[in-house]
Amino acid sequence: MDTLPFLLAAVSAVLHAFWNATLKTSRDAGACIMAAGTLQGLVFLPCFVWLAPWGALEAALPFALLSALIHIAYRLLLSRALQTGALSQAYAVARSAPLLVALGGVYLFGETIGPAAWAAMGAAVLGVGVLHARELRALLGRRGEPGAWSGPCWAFLTMLSVAAYTLSDDAGVQRMEPAPYMFLFTALSSGLYLAPLPLTLRGRDRLNGILEAWRGERKHVLTVAFFEPLSYALILSAFTLAPAGTVSAVRLLSVPVAAAIGIWRFKEPAGGLRLAGAALVAAGAAALKLAN
103 burial via Cβ count (<10 Å: 0-12, 13-18, 19+): middle
Q: What is the pLDDT of residue 146?
A: 53
Q: What is the pLDDT of residue 20?
A: 85
Q: What is the pLDDT of residue 149?
A: 57
CA gap 188, 106 in Å, rounded: 28
Q: What are φ and ψ of residue 195, in 5° steps?
A: -55, -45
Q: What are φ and ψ of residue 86, in 5° steps?
A: -65, 150
Q: Which ranges in the chain belong to alpha helices (H)? A: 3-24, 29-51, 57-84, 87-94, 98-109, 115-131, 133-141, 150-172, 178-194, 201-216, 218-239, 244-250, 254-265, 272-290
267 dihedral zone (left: phi>0; alpha: psi -120 to 50; beta) = left
Q: What does the DSSP assignment read for 54-86?
A: GGGHHHHHHHHHHHHHHHHHHHHHHHHHHHHS-
Question: What separation in angstroms does the CA of 26 have from each of 1, 41, 219?
Answer: 37, 21, 10
Q: What is the pTM of this model?
A: 0.82
Q: What is the pLDDT of residue 134?
A: 67
Sign of CA dihedral 5, 8, 10, 13: negative
CA gap 130, 148 in Å, rounded: 20
CB 105 within 8 A of CB 170: yes
Q: How many other CB atoms are found less than 10 A from the CB of residue 56?
A: 16
CA gap 104, 228 in Å, rounded: 24
Instruction: State the DSSP code for 111.
Output: -
Q: Is 179 helix (H, G, I), strand (E, B) or coil?
A: helix
Least Cα distance to 248 among 113, 156, 136 occurs for 113
CA gap 187, 179 in Å, rounded: 12
Q: How many other CB atoms are found less than 10 A from the CB of residue 125?
A: 22
Mean pLDDT per 10-residue segment, the chain (292 residues): 91 91 86 90 92 89 95 85 70 73 85 85 80 65 57 80 92 94 92 79 79 92 94 93 87 82 76 74 81 64
CA gap 182, 230 in Å, rounded: 10
> Identity (one letter) of the amino acid at 164?
A
CB 146 within 8 A of CB 127: no
